[in-house]
């Protein structure tokens, strides 16, 4: 692909972004249908299926970047993607029906626990960036292994809290909606309700293949465009590439708030953010090195930004701002400002 002219590479990149959006939407619906039909429920298989399906674009980008030894792009996309994908909640906030912000409507503390898991694994990623690159166990960084262990423990804990909460909470005026996609919506049937399971499996497989190929196209074409434009790999991975891979979350997030599933949209974003950092293990295994240790100051900056915007939304779920400003809650406006400042600071740090 390096022989292609820049305009052709740009077309390839935009096509990959469009394919990611469309395939991701179909993949999300097929995953929901399979989760219900196979009776996976809150089992480990169900959690893993939903997590992997939701992070396939990031997985494809990570594998492609690692194989091409573009470790800066891989790390930038995984860590920087946390802030960008959290900013998807700004878009969802704008589409909330009524005059109350998304965080006011959530009406549950489960997203606060999910946000805490994001903060935990991101903190470990920051610590892992300080470890020497020579510290490798079975081709993996100890920090990458720790992220996977913490994610698994967090998912088990969240599962227990969902099934048997030890507290009750009442938030007047809230509308949580479904706590999870596997719960049947009262007015909208599950996706592909009239299709056979074989058809749903084919949709899932097709969506996965298209998403993986689109992720490869995004990484290769985008990396070449970034090199030709003199853009730092971390900056590119954390902004343009992270935004392209977040397109499916934008689509599903808008659909969720239109259905009144306010708790679900936050859970989807925080759950995806927590899981995607486990992909550092994949990058480590492919390269045989501690990718986190080569993340550098720019990715530490991104990790801090991701933690900050996550805490803003987690706190807003508790504080519950009641007013909208141009259809956005105060928390979403603060996140927008922080992201703008964060990206400007990232350019300075990367230099």
Question: For residue 278, what pLDDT band results from cuts at 50, 70 and 90?
Answer: very high
Residue 183, pLDDT above cutoff 90? no
- Looking up tokens 């800066």, which residue turns up? 72
Domains and CATH numbers, the chain: 6-350 (1.20.1420.30)
Distant-in-sequence, close-in-space partners of 45: CB < 8 Å, separation ≥ 6: none
pLDDT higher than threshold 70 for residue 68: yes
**Where does the pLDDT of residue 35 fall: very low under 50, low under 70, confident under 90, or very high at 90 and above?**
confident
How does residue 337 score in pLDDT terms, banded at 50, 70 and 90?
very high
For residue 226, what pLDDT band results from cuts at 50, 70 and 90? confident
pLDDT of 44 above 60:
no
Residue 277 has phi, psi (to 5 degrees) of -70, -20
Interior angle at CA 317, CA 316 and CA 321, nearest 5: 50
Mean pLDDT of all residues in 206-227: 89
Q: Which residues of 162-190 are buried (b: 16+ CB within 10 A; e: fewer)?
A: eeeeeeeeebeebbbbbebbbeeeeeeeb
Range from 99-108, 129-138, 251-260, 288-297 that averages highest in pLDDT: 99-108
Higher-pLDDT residue of 299, 329: 329
- Residues 120-174 pLDDT 10s: 999 999 888 888 878 888 889 999 999 999 999 998 898 888 878 888 888 888 8
Query: Is residue 190 pLDDT above 70, yes or no?
Result: yes
Mean residue pLDDT of the chain comes to 87
Q: What are the angstrom distances between the C-alpha of 323 and each of 63, 272, 339?
A: 43, 28, 21
Q: What is the pLDDT of residues 77-102, one digit of tens each?
A: 888 889 999 999 999 999 998 889 99
Q: How far apart are CA 167 and CA 206, in angstroms?
A: 42
Cβ contact 76:298 at 8 Å? yes
- Percent above pLDDT 90 for the chain: 35
Task: Report whether 261 contacts 186 (CB < 8 A).
Answer: no
pLDDT of residue 148: 95
pLDDT, tens digit, 9 for 90 and up, residues 309-328: 999 999 999 999 999 998 99
Q: Is the dihedral of CA 94, 96, 99, 102 positive or negative?
A: negative
Query: Which positions ≥6 away from 291 have C-beta within 8 Å?
Result: 66, 71, 74, 75, 141, 144, 280, 283, 284
pTM equals: 0.90
């Amino acid at each position: 692909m390096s022989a292609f002219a820049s305009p052709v590479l740009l077309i390839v990149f935009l096509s990959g972004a469009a394919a990611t959006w469309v395939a991701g939407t179909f993949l999300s619906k097929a995953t929901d249908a399979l989760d219900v039909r196979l009776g996976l429920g809150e089992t480990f298989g169900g959690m893993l299926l939903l997590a992997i399906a939701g992070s396939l674009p990031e997985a494809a980008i990570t594998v492609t970047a690692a194989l091409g030894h573009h470790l800066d792009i891989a790390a930038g996309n995984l860590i920087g993607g946390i802030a960008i994908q959290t900013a998807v909640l700004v878009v969802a906030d704008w589409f909330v029906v009524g005059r109350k912000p998304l965080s006011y409507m959530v009406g549950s503390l489960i997203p606060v626990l999910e946000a805490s898991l994001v903060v935990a694994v991101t903190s470990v990623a920051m610590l892992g960036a300080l470890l020497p690159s020579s510290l490798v166990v079975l081709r993996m960084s100890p920090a990458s292994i720790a992220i996977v262990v913490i994610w698994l423990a967090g998912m088990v804990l969240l599962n227990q809290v969902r099934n048997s909460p030890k507290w009750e909470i009442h938030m007047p005026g809230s509308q949580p909606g479904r706590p999870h996609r596997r719960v049947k919506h009262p007015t909208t049937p599950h996706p592909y309700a009239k299709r056979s399971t074989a058809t749903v499996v084919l949709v899932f497989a097709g969506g996965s293949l298209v998403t993986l190929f689109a992720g490869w196209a995004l990484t290769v074409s985008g990396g070449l465009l970034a090199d030709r434009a003199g853009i730092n790999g971390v900056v590119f991975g954390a902004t343009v590439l992270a935004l392209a891979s977040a397109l499916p979350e934008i689509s599903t997030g808008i659909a969720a708030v239109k259905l009144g599933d306010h708790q679900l949209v936050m859970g989807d974003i925080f759950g995806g953010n927590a899981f995607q950092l486990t992909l550092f293990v994949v990058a480590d295994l492919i390269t045989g090195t501690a990718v986190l240790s080569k993340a550098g100051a720019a990715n530490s900056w991104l990790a801090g930004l991701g933690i900050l915007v996550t805490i803003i939304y987690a706190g807003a779920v508790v504080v519950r701002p009641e007013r909208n400003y141009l259809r956005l809650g105060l928390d979403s406006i603060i996140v927008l400002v922080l992201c703008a400042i964060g990206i400007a600071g990232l350019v300075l740090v990367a230099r």
